[in-house]
Amino acid sequence: MLDKKFSALSALYAANVIDGGRTIDEVPAIIRPQVQEILDDSKKEDAAPQA
């Protein structure tokens, strides 16, 4: 995720979704695609085996 650029607001909303404070449907539509991409990347990183 660190090799991509996202707005700070998108990152904050993604963190809030991950923590359970919001759902993706509660994220403003204008930044929802960016937040969804952050969430997808986060899931991939969690699923990857740790070296």
Q: What is the pLDDT of residue 36?
A: 96
Place of tokens 């993706």: 24
Domains of the chain by residue range: 8-45
**Does the pLDDT of residue 47 top 60, yes or no?**
yes
Higher pLDDT, 15 or 3: 15
Residue whose C-alpha is closest to residue 15's, from 43, 29, 35 = 35
More confident: 19 or 1: 19
The per-residue pLDDT for 1 is 46
- pTM beyond 0.75: yes
Buried b (16+ CB within 10 A) or exposed e, 16-48: ebeeeeeeeeebeeebeebbeebbebeeeeeee
pLDDT digits (tens, 9 = 90+) for 12-39: 999 999 999 999 999 999 999 999 999 9
Q: CA–CA separation, 16 vs 38, rounded Å?
A: 12
